[in-house]
A and B are shown apart, each in its own frame.
Chain A
Amino acid sequence: MCLSIPARIMSIDGSTAEVSAGGAIFKAGLQMIENARVGDYVLLHAGFAIQKIDEKEALKAIKLFEEIDEII
């Protein structure tokens, strides 16, 4: 139920966006996020974009993983 999937904003019409997740297009309410732009990645949950995905943080986590080699 609390499943949310990363989706890319394809177009915006007022407070509704069309988003693409894994090739499927869904409608997403934008009432909970600010400054949504086409191309942004959001978390889609039950028909709403509930958060913009923070690209910097996403990259940071990956980078951290890549550095694991040095720890082991």
Chain B
Amino acid sequence: MKYISEYRNEDLVKKLIALINKSVRRDYTFMEVCGGHTDAIRRFGIPSLLPENIKLISGPGCPICVTGRDFIDKAILYSRMHDAIICTFGDLVRVPGSSSSLEKEKAAGGDIMIVLSALEALEVARTNSKKKIIFLGIGFETTAPGTAVSIEIAQKDNIQNFFLLCAHKIMPPAMETLIKEGTKLDGFICPGHVATITGSDIFNFIAERHKLSCVVSGFEPTDILQSIFMLIQQVNQKKAEVEIQYSRAVTHKGNVIAQKHMSQVFETCDELWRGFGVISDSGLKLRRNYEKYDVEKIMPLNIKFEEEDSLCICGDILRGLKTPDECPLFSIECVPENPTGACMVSNEGACNTWYKYRQYE
């Protein structure tokens, strides 16, 4: 496949490994902050190809994993309304809430539909005018513009039965929180598809203020290895810059049209991240002009946030403090078929990828 197979070339991988081996001079710890990278790194067995003094840790880049349990609880309560249809990305349905999951609610008769995009949810609204369609908006800067476009279309076409339960988040504040909390790092493998939208410049503060190396990376094996090589070189030369490895998709300024859609519809707000607590200005909420699409404004719920299971260490994993194999529940009680924590649910969760690709054996 074009733009995929070229970047999976065995000879190139070998060359890059040789280059990396030649350039290591010390211990390095790099964090990937995109779930797509977490999956790719485990799927392609990247850690097994690297010298032992390079440690890769996963950060808070899987939107499913960092979604608070209260969001799932709210979605479940809305799904129990007789005239509601919940439209959600598939990854979310198996995430455990306090006492149920959307999958269990669907099995019990709840009207819960899996959609591939916000536009599909909008179509469901057009064809079910007597129902209230509630789209579960999760995801970072990559996904939020799509939700914004669908809200704008709903406004333009006067669709009145389309609503948003919003937990969209933005990446930089969580990265800054990690750094401030003291997670030990030499650099970031920065999220390539977030940067496709935002541009690589949003990471400049990490290099400038926090003196950490950043490389915006693609998602194929040679992309990731090249990014690691670029990070090693920066660290060796005591540089802290933002470089773009994924130049076929990422520019310094990003996709300006997508950014306009996002800022037209959303403004930032304080937001709860699983494992972190509330991070200021890290979430997106609908602007006042679009409040009539905010399900929590139109049909408010009153729910109490409950504490997470104390044994589950998803929170520490999301902050890069622990790895999945350090969790007492991992692969014993907590497995993809019956997950305790969100990191085991999502295909891009650290626990799920460790389990799936047997990295702990």
A residues within 8 Å of B by Cβ? 1-6, 8, 21-22, 26-27, 29, 31-34, 41, 43, 45-48, 50-51, 53-55, 57-58, 60-62, 65, 68-69, 71-72
Q: Are B142 and A4 in contact (CB under 8 A)?
A: yes
CB-CB under 8 A from A29, the residues of chain B are: 117, 119, 146, 149
Q: Are B1 and A1 in contact (CB under 8 A)?
A: no
CB-CB under 8 A from A45, the residues of chain B are: 142-143, 146, 193
CB-CB under 8 A from B166, the residues of chain A are: none
28 A-B residue pairings within 8 Å (CB atoms):
A1-B89, A1-B140, A2-B140, A2-B193, A3-B35, A4-B142, A4-B249, A6-B4, A27-B117, A31-B257, A32-B255, A33-B255, A43-B193, A45-B142, A45-B143, A47-B119, A48-B119, A48-B146, A50-B145, A50-B255, A51-B255, A53-B3, A60-B247, A61-B248, A62-B6, A65-B9, A65-B226, A69-B15
Known A-B contacts A46-B143, A47-B119; the reply to A32 vs B248 at CB < 8 A is: no
Q: Are B193 and A8 in contact (CB under 8 A)?
A: no
Interface size class of B (residues with CB under 8 A): 35 or more
Q: Are A58 and B248 in contact (CB under 8 A)?
A: yes
Closest 10 CB pairs of A and B: A47-B117, A6-B3, A58-B248, A57-B247, A32-B258, A2-B142, A2-B193, A68-B15, A57-B248, A1-B63
Q: CA–CA, A42 to B245, complex, Å?
A: 18
Q: Are A43 and B196 in contact (CB under 8 A)?
A: yes
Chain A CB within 8 A of B126 CB: no
- B249's partner among A22, A47, A48, A54 (CB-CB below 8 A) is A54
Q: CA–CA, A1 to B89, complex, Å?
A: 9
Can you name 4 extra interface pairs (CB under 8 A) apart from A50-B255, A50-B258, A71-B19?
A29-B146, A47-B116, A50-B196, A65-B226
Chain A CB within 8 A of B49 CB: no
Q: Are A65 and B12 in contact (CB under 8 A)?
A: yes
Known A-B contacts A46-B118, A50-B196, A60-B247; the reply to A2 vs B15 at CB < 8 A is: no
Q: CA–CA, A32 to B44, complex, Å?
A: 31
Q: CA–CA, A65 to B173, complex, Å?
A: 34
Q: Are A68 and B16 in contact (CB under 8 A)?
A: yes
Nearest A residue (CB) for B62: A1
